[in-house]
Amino acid sequence: MKIAVGFDHAGFPLKQTVLDAVRNAGHEPIDKGTNSAESVDFPDFAEAVGRAIQNGEAERGIIVCGSGIGACIAANKMKGVYASICHDTYSAAQGVSHDDMNVLCLGGRVIGPELAKALISAFLSAEYQGNKAGGERLARRVEKIHKIEDGGLVQ
């Protein structure tokens, strides 16, 4: 898979760790910046990662800002981008397998390199189960998320 990755200045210290973890998991990172610890705005990089998913350049994304929260909020404003902050491996995997999450948001000031590697491995190895036998309830729930995104369940 191609994985778009983006970092603000607070996420920059984990950049090489993230790029290496994506490669070590057998995937291709697409670097959307930043390229230094100079102060930048996280929405710029959340949007760059989201656009890569929207236009088919990448199948999934990883965004790292200070807490992971701002990047998550910004990414979720984009149609077709389903982001979550995860600081445990269970959520990183289940977000994909149950909820069709396609962007992992991490807090560069919250986690260290070893946990980042474990989270990325869990995220990238998980597969959405809603399109598999027995996954009807998952698919039903994800479809409701898409309806909300398109204007709401009740219109």
| 39-62: average pLDDT | 98
What domain range includes position 77? 2-127
| 24-49: average pLDDT | 97
Residue 37 lies in a domain: yes
Residue 138 lies in a domain: no
* Chain segment 109-126, per-residue pLDDT in tens: 999 999 999 999 999 999
pLDDT reported for residue 41:
97
pLDDT reported for residue 153:
78
Residue 137 lies in a domain: no
Residue 143 lies in a domain: no
Q: Which residues contact residue 133 at a Cβ distance below 8 angstroms, ignoring those fewer than 6 apart?
A: none
Average pLDDT value for the chain: 96
How does residue 133 score in pLDDT terms, banded at 50, 70 and 90?
confident
Tokens for 12? 């920059």
The CATH number of the domain holding residue 23 is 3.40.1400.10
Active site residues: 65, 98
- For the stretch 50-57, contacts whose Cβ atoms lie closer than 8 Å and that sit 24 or more positions apart, written own/partner, are 50/74, 50/75, 50/78, 50/81, 50/83, 50/103, 51/78, 52/4, 53/4, 53/78, 53/80, 53/81, 53/102, 53/103, 54/78, 54/79, 54/80, 54/81, 57/2, 57/4, 57/30
* Chain segment 79-110, per-residue pLDDT in tens: 999 999 999 999 999 999 999 999 999 999 99
Question: How many structural domains are present in the chain?
Answer: 1
Residue 86 lies in a domain: yes
Residue 79 lies in a domain: yes
Residue 115 lies in a domain: yes
